[in-house]
Structure 1
Amino acid sequence: MNPAPSPVAVTGLGLLTPAGEGTEAAWRAVLAARCLAARDTALTGLPVDFSCRVPLDDKALDRRVGRKSWRMGRPAKFAVLAAREAVHDAGLTPADWDSTRVAVVIGCGMGGLEEVEAQHLRLEQHGAHQVSALAIPKIIPNLAAGEVAIDLDARGISLAPATACASGATAIAMARDLLSTGLCDIAVAGGTEAAVSRLATAGFWRMGALSERTHAPAEASRPFAADRDGFVMAEGAGVLVLERAADAAARGARPRALLTGYGSSTDAHHPTAPPEGATGAEAALHAALAEAGISPYDVDHVNAHGTSTPLNDTTEAALISRVLPHRPSITAPKGVLGHTLGAAGAIEAALTVLTIQHRRIPPIANLQAPAPEFDLDCVTKQPRTQDIHAALSHSFGFGGHNVVLTLQRP
């Protein structure tokens, strides 16, 4: 087993989710285990017409962001708000830090798809002169990282990984490496997504990836249930502040948790489907354990990718049972929040940190018991109190991207 690297402290969290603004809102929602999916008027007429939206309309979102919001796409606005909360939670003040030593790594899987649709409509109906001069900055996925860096005056390395539904977790892993190699002293890392558009919804539906429970949207997302039929489109952002543990201790900051390792791999198998046996995901899981210097039997809890799709949940359940046969507790936040795509890995990492910190495991929404073929200890119905020393957060994305994060109690 490889020696464990120097741990990285998670000193701040910021969340903007379908539960509302702020980390506490998201935490309360997942503990309550009620799916937040509802009818979405923007999707009216489509075969799937419901989603999990952030409950802030454009005017409210602009008020929160402030005077520069006019130039930002929705993913960037989400990221800015989540990053502000995370930095505040960490007890840091941008005016006081060495901005050249602050990195920003914000993953985004799809960029501003709603803006693509809106500007294309303008082009077709009114001509090129009516296309917004801000169309491209509002569309391209790296502008979330760019606007966070501007908002925080962070002048260090800035990156925008796009690994589909693993983007947020990839960002956290990359930030860990920047800290470990001394390329920054503070990393603001996470993911954002605002892709609940007609085009994306229709595309995912045509793939057979979405739940079709249009008669009962709040029952649609049901990870690991026998009758699951797909995921629910969602949006949001999650941001973590990471620092070397020694640096956090030197300034008197108390870590919420430690990021002690990660594993990343690529399936090199299929654009959207995992290989039989989840060999790539298993490699990432073993790498995450090895880097943290722990064995599979040290894992107390898993925050599963748990998309509620038939194939993903079957593959992931088999992976967990094979590599972690001692049956650690399992939760899956997408049952409540839906699938926030590029933001999911960061949001779920933040929720894993809270689970470790509060010693409470959120139950999986819409799940009475896992499908009979799954040998999993899924937490259902009520939150479970558990002393957690080590937890894993799984993120898997189209393109065969696999990321597993190891988080431990300080």
Structure 2
Amino acid sequence: MKKEDKYVEEAKELSKLLRISFDYLINNEDVDAIFKSVILSNSVFILKDENNNLLAYYPLKGISRLSNVVYNKEAITQIPLQYKSWFIPGYEIKIYSIKKEKRNNNKDNYIITTSGSDFLITKGRRTLPLNWDEDCYISIKELYSLINDSWIYLYEYDTDSDCSDCDGYDYSGCDYSRCKNNCEKCGGRRYMCNNSCFNYRYDKALKMSLDFEQISNDVEPLMKILSQFQQKHSTTNKELFDQNYEILKETYQHCEKISPYMDINNTDVESYEQEFNYCSILSRERKIFNVNNAITIYLNGKKMYCINKQDLRCTDHAWFWVRYHLETNERTYDYVSDSLTSIDFKLKFNTKEERNKFKIDFDKMKIITIYLKEDKGDKYYIESYS
């Protein structure tokens, strides 16, 4: 990771604070040795603030980045769930103690009741509330199906560990986590802490989490099928999508079932949805593509694209003068690469007459070949066409 070059002083200060917070993890006996070794090794941590801005911290070199933080989601490793927690840089990173429920085939595994707007989950003789976003409506029937889903499990947590300075004060040193009694640190000013707050109402509660291991086991072999199907002009793999469509579609529906309720960003669930959608369009477009009804585009003498005439547009993007673009939609099938792609070439003509003639021929779908030559300013001359 490169050093911050825009907000240099801010990055230095953030590094000092993050070192303090990460030291809490190193010195915490509940943190396993493997994760401690990751912190001390040559690893970069990608963090997200409350506004979804990405930050990066490199513990080994003690440096941070605040600007231009990007990453390849295919190349990163998700940290274990118990170490994912909101924290204030410079303060302790609290660890959840996760007790994963073992699933069985008993349909009466859980009993769901309600108390006001809260869901109460009963298993055996124990009842705990479920931390659920009240703005996200779900019926009891849907919730029952969700918590018994093979990709989801419930874990118990102390609600204290989920508290934050929601009323704007700093209570990091407060002796009473919920300020049920006054104390010298905050003077009992935590006026937001009352029965309107879920974490105030309950000492312990349940949360739902994705079972990343189970999802990976189910999705990984299907992702390999989708990857093979996308191979360029492969006659042996071309039928893979249709041959395995039922299981591929079923897994996609599984993703759709849980995605409205769970955070699937940068997970196998999100990746599978994207790949399935892509392959669905690719499969359809491969079948309907007709090379005899296509336009072939050469760029600087090299054959680059072969696209259905109906998918290629020559449109005017300017308001006060004519500037035509040769373009497609975002996911248009290209026979040359045997994939979905998009193009947008700003066209340049030597004369107005030449431009008008090309537009007329294009609109009448007479053109089958276009030769483009790159010019300055991201524009392309039409050398010739036929």
TM-score w.r.t. length of structure 1: 0.21
Specify the structure having the higher radius of gyration (Cα).
2
